[in-house]
Chains A and B, each alone.
Chain A
């Protein structure tokens, strides 16, 4: 492992974490979708660089899948959905940006402490990728917690899945079949969620998920 290839991998994986933070920071819906497309683009670059470094051609397929579906198809579809729902100008979060950032930093520190302790004797590059991937996953979960808008939840979920792909690319030996089936299940989940968005909207006239609380008597 030469210095440069490690540095580039570090740069791209670090960029992915940074993009996750930008997702947390961004509260306008259409800009959020654009940032998500960028997130997927950085992921595709990171995976392609892993493929080049590890001489693993099947990872190129993963990169292309990430690029085509997550950076192009899903963002375009999401843009269409929010325009049809007429919510492309909406802004909302449950927690403010500042606290969310602090919690996010805490999660990144946590995942680094955990991962660097656990993977003491693994390859340097794989260790780092796992640490970053765990933080991307945790940030995706955090995003699903702090967003009130269902579209924000979807983007949080998708960014979480990007973290999983990064982990899989870093740890050598994830078979292509698993890779492709994961990609397709995410796509199908996306379609199902898209249908649900319209159903929720039809029934409650909003996609603010706080409206759902009334119906399961969670909050009085």
Chain B
């Protein structure tokens, strides 16, 4: 019975993240448009874009290799699995035994590896620039992410997301400066990884400084649709990761009934909405950074993660 329940929750979750991801992106776009006093596209526009792209034919460059055609599906698969591993509305997922933070980071890392390769495959200069910048950002964002994972793991004695969420819910958390630093650091990393505004502008094809858009410039048709969907999923993944670790209230615990799951679902949608509004406000109030300032920005995130881990060490009175 427990197995069936876990399996059902896992299945629902996989479909749920897929269904909600474009909506979240549409919501962020809507918030940003309203903040600049524009009407903005309707909330369902990302779904329509995907549908339209799906029906269009694929235009391939003559010298595109098999990698160029395979990469979108690989990227999408890795991102989808990663998004399915983070508890969204209920803990106790079927794949929970493998669903630790390090696995999620590794999945996202491999997705990025294929994206960078695909960007360079056709040999246009834009793709090369985009790939090199993406890898530069990643080489700084990943250590920062790993430091955050270490701090959380030291606090909760586990890298399992369910265990960390349970630890945050329990009363013996206290007032932890490390948690605050990890939160700020993970927010900075999430903004960088998703190519949001201080690092990259997600809504333009016209800037010479674009990163993500430069890599997928050569794609069209269903390949582009799959890549876009993977990008939507990545944003959703980061929001649900942060929600699961830092605001886990409302998560349906293991072995609870349908009512708890419904409450969890409502809370999750609420958290996504709030996260989208915050991201919109953040992006509207900032200007894009010069590419050469990015190392400073991510260096600060890395520093926060490292400092958080160090402070934790002191409060334990470590070094016996």
Contact = CB atoms under 8 A, between A and B. Distances in A.
B166 interface: no
Interface residues of B, number: 24
Interface string B176-201: 11101100000000000000000000
Interface stretch (B63-71, B88-96, B100-108, B309-317): B309-317
B275 interface: no
A124 B317 contact: yes
Nearest to B181: A18
**A18, A21, A104 — most chain B CB neighbours (10 Å):** A18
Contact of B314 (A3, A4, A25, A112): A112
Interface string A127-164: 11001100000000000000000000000000000000
Contacts of B178: 14
Given A15-B177, A116-B319, A97 B299 contact: yes
B175 interface: yes
Contacts of A98: 295-296, 299
B226 interface: no
Interface string B285-314: 000000000011001101110110011011
Given A18-B181, A25-B300, A98-B296, A132 B307 contact: no
A7 to B, nearest CB: 4
B175 A11 contact: yes
B257 interface: no
B303 A7 contact: no
Interface in A73-98: 97-98
B2 interface: no
A31 to B, nearest CB: 14
A14 B177 contact: yes
A6 B300 CA distance: 27
Interface of A: 3-4, 6-8, 10-11, 14-15, 17-18, 21, 25, 97-98, 101, 104-105, 108-109, 112-113, 116-117, 124, 127-128, 131-132
The 5 closest A-B pairs by CB, nearest first: A14-B177, A7-B175, A7-B174, A11-B177, A116-B319
Interface of B: 174-178, 180-181, 295-296, 299-300, 302-304, 306-307, 310-311, 313-315, 317-319
